[in-house]
Amino acid sequence: MEQFEEVYDKYYQSIYRYILSLSKNVSIAEEITQETFYKALKNINKYNPEYKMLTWLCNIAKNTYYSTYKKDKRFEELLDNTPDNEKEMINRIIDSETNEEILKVVHKLEEPYKEVFTLRIYGDLSFKQIGSIFSKTESWARVTYYRSKLKIKESLNEKEL
């Protein structure tokens, strides 16, 4: 239990900021962050140490956010927030049918493209932070992110044909 407190202390702010970047709402971010750590503690035996703890927690947070998003009407009011440039591709269509297609494409991306894209768009992490998570350079993170965007666009274009 003491070890999990260390995990909580170390990653709380990162998970909170990640969810805040998705929700644009402090109370929702706090609620989802708490739920994320509850689920992580409950399922700690399923954690695979091959992967980084932050990645595992971000996946739990993302899944919790989206499952809550589907159930909770108060998320609808969050869609009116003005997105920044990096998130525009995703956020401008969050309330359209295309959003589901984009999320399906992102989900099917191979690693590390899927994770880099998710950390950049949904986690609002810098390329330097992403590079650090993967023990790579900032340039590697930029290139990988760019390639993931190309893969997503290609896949969406194929579906339109």
Last residue of a domain, one of 24, 57, 81: 81
Quick one: CA dihedral 44, 49, 51, 54, positive or negative?
A: positive
Q: Which two tokens stand for residue 146?
A: 């760019």
Contact criterion met (CB below 8 Å) for 148 and 130:
no
- Same domain flag for 20 and 71: yes
CA dist 92 and 94 (Å) reads 6
Contact criterion met (CB below 8 Å) for 116 and 130:
yes
70: CATH: 1.10.1740.10
95: CATH: 1.10.10.10
Give the model's pLDDT for residue 8. Answer: 85
Short-list 113, 110, 94, 55, CA closest to 102: 94
- Same domain flag for 112 and 156: yes
* Amino acid (1-letter code) at residue 111: E
- Same domain flag for 102 and 125: yes
- Same domain flag for 24 and 61: yes
CA dist 18 and 138 (Å) reads 19
pLDDT band at 159; cut points 50, 70, 90: low
Give the model's pLDDT for residue 145. Answer: 87
- Same domain flag for 51 and 113: no
Give the model's pLDDT for residue 100. Answer: 67
CA dist 6 and 68 (Å) reads 27
- Same domain flag for 76 and 91: no
- Same domain flag for 75 and 90: no
Last residue of a domain, one of 57, 81, 105: 81
Domain count, the chain: 2
- Same domain flag for 116 and 93: yes
Domain of 54, in residue numbers: 1-81
From the centroid of its chain, how far is CA 30? Answer: 16
Contacts of residue 159, defined as CB under 8 A and 6 or more positions apart, other chains included, come to 101
pLDDT tens string 13-56: 889 888 888 877 787 888 888 889 888 888 888 888 887 888 88
- Same domain flag for 73 and 90: no
- Same domain flag for 38 and 105: no
- Same domain flag for 76 and 94: no
Question: What is the pTM assigned to this prediction?
Answer: 0.46
More confident residue, 115 or 2: 115
Provide the 3-class DSSP secondary structure of residue 95.
coil
